[in-house]
Structure 1
Amino acid sequence: MDHGSMGEAMPMGDAMDPTMPMDQMDHGAMDHGAMDHGAMDHGAMDPAMAMDHGAMDHGAMDPAMPMDHAATGGDAMAMPVPLAPIPLAPPPPEAGSGPARAAEAIYGAEAMREAREALKHDTGGQSFAWFMADRAEYRARQGRDGYLWDVQGYYGGDIDKFWFKSEGEGSFGEKPEQAEVQALWSHAIGPWFDLQAGVRQDLAGPDRTHAVIGVQGLAPYLFDIDAAAFLSNKGDVTARIEAEYDQRITQRLILQPRGEVNLAAQDIPALGIGAGIDSLELGVRLRYEFAREFAPYIGVEQEWKLGGSADFARAAGHDPSVTNYVAGVRFWF
């Protein structure tokens, strides 16, 4: 500090001789209380002169005297202000005491009605249409090669939908061995499953119309499940359970194991179905998604007729066990 530049406004006391060199001054005799700090010429201070805070006697400071860091301009030394705790109590009663349609007083009832309808539509009130061919494939097998289709789709909102399904198979040059179409009402019974009910019409073999009730959705560990029970107009009770799982090898290459079991409550000789487990299908398909909406695949699937159904198949001259090598395409829009 250049005390010589402090000017004359700072009285130094009688014990100090202004002509005395600094190293001979009696600093103990300085009357600091009488010093006029406001008159000091701080602009004349040497900026290269650093203050030695380590040498300051902080123990002598009055702990009751708070330091005004804001007044010193020391923003970097400012202490953080603690945040107020988040209240855990319920909102006060007056929080919900306002009018239920307060905005109508400003914008009008008609404008707010349109705004509420738009909000409802944009947050789940839309209707969607969706169609998917899960399996559309050529089947190479012993004897005559064949084909299979398995398609489904819906139209509706998040909760209620109209759902349709169709599947069938056969051999080239022959009538379809099995073909059906279903029309179902679907209602969401949770985040993952829909309850479905409707009607199924068989398009191949003896004429049958069935009442349908079932569930479809995503089971734990991401298994796609489709299970339904059927009651025909002849009084026959059957059921079908399908499950498949997408195992991603890469973002585009997907291995899909699939299983299907068909059951019957009684023998149905006209359809070649025996009581108990009618048939079992296990297969695996490897598809490549050129786009999410389009994916060709190859695979293999094994079919078994079991119990009484196997006896009906042998009696008709068919092998109750068939291996299919498949190639097809899966697409949706």
Structure 2
Amino acid sequence: MTLIKHASTFILTAFALIVIAGSPALAQKAPEFSNDLMMDNKTYVYLIAEKLEYRSVNGVNPLMWEVQGYAGKDLNKFWFKSHGEALTTENEAEMEFQGLYSRAIGPYFDVQTGVRYDLAYEGNGNNSRALAVLGLQGMAPYFFHVDGGMFISEDGDISASLEAEYDLLFTQRLIGQPIFETSIAVQEVPEWGVGSGVNDVGLGFRLRYELQREFAPYIGINWERKLGETADMARARGGHVSNLSLLGGVRMWF
């Protein structure tokens, strides 16, 4: 009887230990809370040269760039953007810089606000202006990348721009990219060659080959056309209203 009693006690004790050890509350201890466990609290840094290219157009052959990047978390970021072009045959260039606070308003779009600074020089003279920015950037349905903004200059002039592009994957490394660009202005700004209404429209196509995901040389074609009062101002200055150019460049990101 004593042996049976001891055996029963051993079995009950072993069963109790198994039940306790299998309890979810004791099987594993939850880690101490840390903000690092929250994915939207991680800081990201990203920089991309979307376009670094040479264009063959009307003998002036400009170098053109479009660079942007950000630092921040999923919801809140600081964005830097710059684009412009410099002529290789003349001492002339136009460039734009933006510093923006960006806030995610959904899975695919960020609203952005900040400042923009424009600088243009020709010969020994230069011109500059500052503008306030309100923009929207992200991915529209069917995977169109959209970047648009409204601008108010220090003189109260209002304008807006829109760029949309799409990636066509011919293979995993060979990718075509059609691009559409346009801009409008409420007031004319003669010193910047801008008329009221729709200023211009641009269509382009770039074919890149990703040697690595971070580095892709490309070739392409680009067409630009000034419209309305902006075209009239270009004609009055002896400039070109429409340009068709072949181009080559590199796209890279970090």
TM-score between the two structures when normalised by the length of structure 2 = 0.84
Work out which of the residue numbers 143, 149, 163 in structure 1 matches 2:79. 163
Correspondence 1:198-209 to 2 at 5 A: 198-205=114-121, 206-209=127-130
- 1:289: which partner in 2? 210
Task: Output the CA distance in 2 between the equivalents of 1:117 and 1:160.
Answer: 15
Task: Output the CA distance in 2 between the equivalents of 1:115 and 1:299.
Answer: 51
Any idea what the Cα deviations from partners look like across 1:110-142, whole Å, max 9, x if unmatched?
x96x5333422xx22110100000000000012
Q: Give the match's secondary structure for 1:310.
A: helix
Correspondence 1:16-165 to 2 at 5 A: 114-120=32-38, 123-165=39-81
Equivalent residue letter for 1:235 = G
Q: Is the 8 A contact 1:227 1:240 kept in 2?
A: yes
Equivalent residue letter for 1:117 = N
Task: Output the CA distance in 1 between the equivalents of 2:248 and 2:108.
Answer: 30
- 2:150: which partner in 1? 229
Deviation at 1:266, TM superposition (A): 1.2
Task: Output the CA distance in 2 between the equivalents of 1:175 and 1:126.
Answer: 44
- 2:200: which partner in 1? 279
Q: Which runs of 5+ in 2 are unaligned?
A: 1-24, 122-126
Off by >6 Å, runs of 4+ in structure 1: none
Work out which of the residue numbers 311, 315, 319 in structure 1 matches 2:232. 311
Task: Output the CA distance in 2 between the equivalents of 1:195 and 1:233.
Answer: 22
Deviation at 1:177, TM superposition (A): 3.3
Task: Output the CA distance in 2 between the equivalents of 1:215 and 1:295.
Answer: 27
Task: Output the CA distance in 1 between the equivalents of 2:245 and 2:186.
Answer: 28
Equivalent residue letter for 2:54 = Y
Deviation at 1:279, TM superposition (A): 1.0
Q: Is the 8 A contact 1:170 1:178 kept in 2?
A: yes
Deviation at 1:176, TM superposition (A): 4.1
Task: Output the CA distance in 2 between the equivalents of 1:261 and 1:177.
Answer: 20
Deviation at 1:144, TM superposition (A): 1.6
For this pair of structures, how many residues does the alignment match? 223
Q: Is the 8 A contact 1:277 1:307 kept in 2?
A: yes
Task: Output the CA distance in 2 between the equivalents of 1:217 and 1:331.
Answer: 19
Q: Which has the higher strand share?
A: 2
What do you get for the CA RMSD once the two structures are aligned? 1.7
Task: Output the CA distance in 2 between the equivalents of 1:164 and 1:234.
Answer: 24
Q: Which runs of 5+ in 1 are unaligned?
A: 1-102
Identity fraction in percent: 48
TM-score between the two structures when normalised by the length of structure 1 = 0.65
Equivalent residue letter for 1:172 = T
* CA spacing shift, 1:332–1:176, aligned 2, 3 Å: farther
- 1:251: which partner in 2? 172
1:325 and 2:246 matched? yes
Task: Output the CA distance in 1 between the equivalents of 2:69 and 2:36.
Answer: 27
Q: Give the match's secondary structure for 2:33.
A: helix
Any idea what the Cα deviations from partners look like across 1:180-208, whole Å, max 9, x if unmatched?
11000000000000000000011215221
Task: Output the CA distance in 2 between the equivalents of 1:159 and 1:225.
Answer: 18
Equivalent residue letter for 2:135 = G
Deviation at 1:146, TM superposition (A): 1.1
Task: Output the CA distance in 1 between the equivalents of 2:210 and 2:238.
Answer: 40
